[in-house]
Amino acid sequence: MDKLRMDDGAIVRIINRGSVKDFMEARGMFRFKLINPDGSVEREDVAFNLVTIQGKNDALDKYLAGAAYTATFNFGLISSVGYTALVNTDTAAQINGTNGWREAGPTYAPNYSEAVRQTASWGAAASAGVKTNSTVSSFTISGNGTIKGMFMSTSSVKNGVAGILVSEALFSGGDQVVVIGQIAQVSYSLQL
């Protein structure tokens, strides 16, 4: 028969060897180049994006839930007219309305001569989940004004409020005054 003495005891140690964690965070970056009519480069800048809640939800719905996929993404320019702020709750329905910024175009300076927002064409994803658009999108400035940054939407309609506002960003180096004849070039890369 076993008997337990008052001075018997046991020591238990739990050693945490760590755990594997992987956080998927969308980190996007717009690249901007402004070219003068003579071909010289006026400015190059980068803008780290804010992925909107609308954009995140759309990505999750399409990738994980198999919702209808939209294969077209378009770039637009953010005007300085009426600007107050970019926030993650901005939606496409609010462009030129209740959000804190307006799209550059025929209503809010500066305007560009292309009839629609410029399309992003995507190359294959690279290691570590980096996706970059394969061609640069160009905006030919047709009206003087100031650009604050860029955005990406699923709608190509200039000054349109349909579709999904995926991301938006301000220039890292501050606002950019543009004049007629200059060409604003935009490209984008996303890493997960």
Residue at 115 is within a domain: yes
Which structural domain range is residue 184 located in?
Answer: 49-191
- Contact partners, residue 129, CB within 8 Å, separation at least 6: 191, 192
**pTM of the predicted structure, to 2 decimals:** 0.81
Q: Residue 58's pLDDT is what? A: 80
Residue at 97 is within a domain: yes
Tens of pLDDT, residues 11-66: 656 555 666 555 566 678 899 999 999 999 999 999 888 888 888 788 777 767 66
Is the CB of residue 49 less than 8 Å from the CB of residue 28? yes
Residue at 62 is within a domain: yes
Residue at 128 is within a domain: yes
Total number of domains constituting the chain: 1
Residue at 42 is within a domain: no
Residue 170 pLDDT level (bands cut at 50, 70, 90)? very high
Residue at 125 is within a domain: yes
Amino acid code (one letter) for 132: T
Tens of pLDDT, residues 59-114: 777 767 666 776 688 999 999 999 999 998 999 998 887 778 999 999 999 999 99
